[in-house]
A and B are shown apart, each in its own frame.
Chain A
Amino acid sequence: MEKEVICIVCPLGCRINAVVDDATGELKSILGNECHEGVSYAKKEVTSPERVLTTTVITEGSSQPLLPVRSNKPLPKGKLKEVMRELAYVKVKPPLKIGEAAAKNILNTKVDIIATRSLTT
């Protein structure tokens, strides 16, 4: 299987073509990068792309209607949709300090969703 990724390491944005073994999922070759950084970027992107999720959760009992949050570690890219759905039902109550988890080990990914600002009444 061939996959194409756009490298984000520098403004060139090389279109890197990666060939992955259909059976094992292993990376077979990488073409299109103009420098070495592209290789490690493409490898990661093709085999296990991850993204930091930043979003908001609804609050209860606070004058702030929303609390901005982030995942404390990158999440698998494919899980973002599910995590957003899960977080839609989370209601967070004050007090909560910046960095504290609004939701722990979300969907068993071992990633916490932490507050990026304090929540007060």
Chain B
Amino acid sequence: MITRDVSLVVIGSGPAGLAAAIKAKESGIDEVVILERSEELGGLLHQCVHNGFGLLCFKEDLTGPEFACRLIEKVNELGIEYNLETMVIELNARRNIKAVNPQKGVMNLNAGAVVLAMGCRERTYHQVGVMGTRPAGVLTAGTAQRYINVEGYLPGKEVVILGSGDIGMIMARRLTLEGAKVLAVVEKLPYVGGLKRNEVQCIHDFDIPLYLQHTVTKIHGNARIEGVTMVEVDGKGDANKATERLIGCDTLLLSVGLIPENELSLQAGVKLDLLTNGPFVSERMETTIPGIFACGNVVTVYDLVDYVMWSGEIAGKSAATLVKGKKTQARKPKRGKESISIKAGNNVRFVSPQSIDKEIEDDVDIYIRVTEPMRNVEISAGDGNEDIYKKIYRAVTPGEMVVVRIPAKQLKTHNELVIKCEKLAWLGININFERCTGCRYCEAICSFGHFDEVNPVKSCIRIYNDLQSNVYFPIIAGPYTDAKCTSQRFVVIQGIEYDACALCPICCPIRPFFMEPGTENSLKCDMCGMDPMCVQFCSSGALTLATEKEE
């Protein structure tokens, strides 16, 4: 048995734990110890052989193993101590850790600070009410991924996948590439649960049938699965029995959700937020127990590994600050009057972190998910009186997190901030031509922003000078409309026939204005992703952004 005092212990060596350990060491903590239950560092990154990692933080498109390698190299470079095949079996609020290790037996560590980075586990089919028999051949997508990508085995060759989360879609592609046939991806919502990129590159690329608003209700087969019953569901999730059908298969993969793995957190008495299934954390990633920090998927399931890594860096840095600064006891994390609590408002499912220290100096990124896919929304953060953050988004969806950057300087006497997402009825640019001076900054910035060159012909806004009255008219290329021009005499718009084009000829796709030179593509104003540059650069105030919130 070994007993030791350690300044900082990091539990888990996935991207979150590694990032936390690296940052803590770089911030001046000498004694950082990583405890990892597997045979190597890197957590689940090693089984994620696909790419898409590091797009934001390294500006590169890496695979999971490559991403892991970067972090592991840094760990070795900094000489951080790590213990492999080490399972933590107990943790308490006083930061005493009990772990078991092949070489050292039972280890008791008294940590100055702890960073929890245990990641998450997968929801099982029992928890989503799939009935029937309990044969072999039913497994979660993550477990299948381990068999296929690490151990070298295929669980079957005719596969049905329940759930369209990212891991399910990635496995659909992986199985198809390895020669299996994916018979269906079944999703109970009307939209796919993960990223659009995965929907296209994992499902549509391979012509895999995607059944939205469907679910699997029953498993058939005694020793080994032989089929599933699939049924259509309505908006409330109720099955329409008349649509039941049987799909024969030899494997059922489940991708029905990830649950943060907070066994140890609960043991220590950390308070969990039921909305995220993870601990309540402050902007420093500190939990409700002094000296215990948390980062990565154990806090909330992030979409991108970049967010996971950044959360780890914050936790590592904060833990280091605590360890360096403390005397004999950890200070209480600031709650109540000394911190601002962040709440999820309208159309927002959850927020993470859930509190901000009142005396922060740097801006804080709050990660949120909306409750359903929406278009033309404004996401705002405020206390009911004034909003200190506002941003317009053309499209948001629950499968892609939104990052709300709270400006530290604007936090004055706030006690609570509510982050909400409101639909905007209409979004456009107001043109007040009387104020237009013909400076044409708008033309320059539009073409520059979209085509990297100052060329008015490529701009979606043009200033026309009426020479007689000497008035300048800004005219903007219209957005996409549902117009089917027959280019003869009739035009059909939204199913109604017109003798002549009812649209402004300027936005018509077959008229000569607003066409990309040398092509047949029309130029369309895309509002620059909801923050039009022409409005920003307009020197006279002729162009302003107009929004009206939906009642």
Contact = CB atoms under 8 A, between A and B. Distances in A.
Interface in B317-344: none
A55 B396 CA distance: 31
Contact of B395 (A11, A39, A55): A11
A68 B479 contact: no
Contacts of A80: 177
A111 interface: no
Interface in A30-77: 30-37, 39, 51-56, 58, 65-66, 68-70, 77
21 contacts: A6-B196, A6-B200, A6-B204, A8-B195, A10-B394, A11-B373, A11-B395, A11-B397, A12-B395, A28-B520, A29-B520, A34-B394, A35-B524, A37-B526, A51-B205, A54-B51, A55-B49, A68-B63, A98-B69, A116-B49, A116-B65
B372 to A, nearest CB: 12
A107 B47 CA distance: 26
B431 to A, nearest CB: 20
B212 to A, nearest CB: 13
Interface residues of B, number: 48
A54 B49 contact: yes
Given A8-B200, A10-B394, A68 B400 contact: no
A84 interface: yes
Contacts of A25: none
A29 B51 contact: no
Contacts of B516: 39
Main secondary structure on chain B at its contact with chain A?
mixed
A13 interface: yes
Contacts of B199: 6, 13
Given A65-B150, A65-B151, 12 more contacts: A6-B200, A11-B196, A12-B395, A13-B196, A30-B521, A31-B509, A34-B394, A39-B516, A52-B61, A69-B49, A98-B65, A117-B68
Contacts of B523: 36
Interface of B: 46, 49-51, 61-66, 68-69, 148-152, 174, 177-179, 195-197, 199-201, 204-205, 373, 375, 394-397, 399-400, 450, 479-480, 509, 516, 520-521, 523-524, 526, 529
Given A12-B395, A28-B520, A54 B63 contact: yes
B152 A65 contact: yes
A4 to B, nearest CB: 10
B450 A36 contact: yes
B394 A116 contact: no
Contacts, number: 106
Contacts of A98: 65-66, 69
B149 A68 contact: yes
B46 A33 contact: no
B400 A11 contact: yes
A58 B61 CA distance: 24
Contact of B149 (A35, A58, A66): A66
Nearest to A55: B177
Residue among B49, B68, B179, B205 with the most chain A CB within 10 A?
B49
Contacts of B509: 31
Given A10-B394, A55-B177, A66-B149, A34 B63 contact: no
A10 B393 CA distance: 10
A12 to B, nearest CB: 4
A99 to B, nearest CB: 9
Contacts of B373: 11
B394 A117 contact: no
Residue among A12, A54, A56, A77 with the most chain B CB within 10 A?
A54
Contacts of B195: 8
Contact of A36 (B49, B51, B200, B526): B526
A63 B112 CA distance: 38
Interface string A4-28: 0110101111000000000000001
B305 to A, nearest CB: 14
Pairs A-B, 7 closest by C-beta atoms: A35-B526, A68-B49, A117-B65, A65-B152, A12-B395, A116-B65, A11-B395
Contacts of A77: 205
Contact of B196 (A8, A54, A58, A117): A8
Nearest to A115: B65
